[in-house]
Amino acid sequence: MNLKLLKIFIVMIFILNGCGKGKKPDSSIDKILYNVNKEQVKEFYFVGKEKEKIGIYKYNFEEKKFVKLWSDKKEKVILLSYSPNLKHVYFLTAKYYGIRSTLPYIKRVKLYSINLTNEDVAFVDTLMNGTQINADWISDNSFKMIVNSRDLKVSEYMNVHTFIYNSKGKKLLSEIKIVNFIKDGYPLPVASNEQVTENENYKLKNGIIDRDSLYLFDKKTNETDFIVLLNKKKLNKINWGNHYLIFTIKEKNKHKDIIIYSFKDKTVVKKIENKNIKSFLVFGNFLVYDYGLSFSSSISIFNLRKLEITNSIKINGGCGLRNSFLK
């Protein structure tokens, strides 16, 4: 009898332990599913100026608030740049910049990265002094920088230093060439690949007769739909989303319009006109764009579901997605 009770007791312990172990996978699955569903980016970074300090700030979409992430009294942020897939962020700082004897200068330039997982800011590299710096992502894993500096021996010569870093901060390329800017012109800035005029489903094209009209060609149905009349403006930046095509058109005087075209409705659902619009980024359900210069610059948060501005970011000294304080 005692032996039977002992067997029953052992079986019950085994069953209870089995049930206890069975609960853990459910908890793990919940965590995995929660992480998978994080399609909407919860925050983004931008440049802000406060009391002569130009630093990096972070905005949270859910809380509709922003906080300062990084600043240094000896360094000023001169550029912040997201990779095309929005998974990597680099920013540049300088201790000194301005104009001396009609010539621009920029000194003690440093490159930093932001880890979007833990928000750590990491130093990447120090660059030489120059007269001008241009930088941007040329792919999801390549960040290109060009530093122009006047040649000390020949006044009409310009030394063009080119650097390329991968998303991990490793330097992939470092080269220099000399150009005669009087004869050949001033070196062009880094050109990011912003005008991607087609994806796997659609293609943008101009009218055959009326080249000033912009159309969308559906590759699956072979249908062509009118989008907008350009009015001699040129495509500037294009973002292909799941529900919307968002792009800017630009005039020579830098006037920009943001156009939001709905694939479902086959029409322009919103046109944002502001002569001081500089750039925009799309984070899930939010279109974020900046406008204005220096202390008057600000950022608007446009909800793509509601098709309206739901918040704005303003700092006493100004703010921008890339920078608002260098011309």
pLDDT digits (tens, 9 = 90+) for 271-297: 998 878 999 999 999 999 999 888 889
> CA torsion sign, 296 to 318 to 278 to 199?
negative
Q: Which residues, 6 or more positions from 205, have their beta carbon under 8 angstroms from its beta carbon?
A: 197, 214, 215, 217, 224
Place of tokens 């941007």: 136
Q: 114: pLDDT confidence band, cut at 50, 70 and 90?
A: very high
pLDDT at 229: 94
pLDDT at 193: 64
pLDDT at 326: 57
**Tell me: the pLDDT tens digits for 150-174?**
888 888 888 999 999 999 999 999 9
Mean pLDDT of the chain: 84
66 contacts 321 by C-beta, under 8 angstroms: no
The CA distance from 274 to 251, in Å, is 12
| DSSP class per residue in 271-296 | EEEETTEEEEEEETTEEEEEES-GGG
In terms of Cα–Cα distance, which of 264, 274, 262, 265 is closest to 309?
A: 274
